[in-house]
Chain A
């Protein structure tokens, strides 16, 4: 079974703090993704990476950055957390070709106060 592990399930951070969300996958997948889920808005893509050190902006990249130094690890960084970044963050991974299934981690609930 594919395993996508997100390091923190629940976090509470203060406005202005720098926040790191870590994600590791164990299936040697080329592609990794960060989504956020908000009620009524579905899953929105923040950033994705199709190879080590490669990244592309998704639909809502503002206020976020990412890092992919190793194939199995993809980090999401909130440079200066704001209350509108309170959300559930979902990491996912996928084999290279289009048409393959994307596998999600369990999610990280971030509250910014």
Chain B
């Protein structure tokens, strides 16, 4: 049962344009969402997060939008740069006691930004 789903395995955009990565979740207990970026042969690094009490969080070129009613979040990168080329993972947590600390990840989306 995939509780966090990233339906696009890959995305290709031109440098300077907007990249939009999407993520859907099924568990209504999730109340905190994060995006991680991963380069090959490295561990994922934290990018940006959002709490369920917000619908938008912005950090420089990165903005995350949350639509709770649709159980959908998206990451916008604008303008996209070649160095943004990586795999992006959506993750969610929340609800249970000790398990509230764990993150459930999506499958990842490979973003390629072409010069």
Chain A residues within CB distance 8 Å of chain B: 4, 30-31, 33, 35, 40-45, 48, 50, 54, 56, 58, 90, 92, 94, 96-107, 109
Contact = CB atoms under 8 A, between A and B. Distances in A.
Contacts of B98: 50, 54, 56
Which of B46, B91, B102 has most A Cβ within 10 Å? B102
B8 interface: no
Interface of B: 4, 6, 9, 31-32, 34, 36, 41-46, 49, 51, 89, 91, 93-94, 98-108
Contacts of A44: 105
Given A98-B93, A98-B94, A101-B34, A107 B101 contact: no
Which of A41, A42, A58, A104 has most B Cβ within 10 Å? A42
Contact of A99 (B9, B44, B51, B106): B51
Contacts of B43: 4, 90, 92, 104-107
Contact of B104 (A4, A45, A97, A105): A45
Contact of A33 (B34, B42, B49, B102): B102
Contacts of A90: 43-44
A43 B38 CA distance: 11
Contacts of A48: 101-102
12 contacts: A30-B101, A40-B9, A42-B89, A42-B105, A43-B108, A45-B103, A58-B102, A99-B51, A101-B34, A103-B46, A107-B42, A107-B43
Contacts of B4: 42
A4 B4 CA distance: 25
Which of B51, B98, B101 has most A Cβ within 10 Å? B101
A2 B49 CA distance: 18
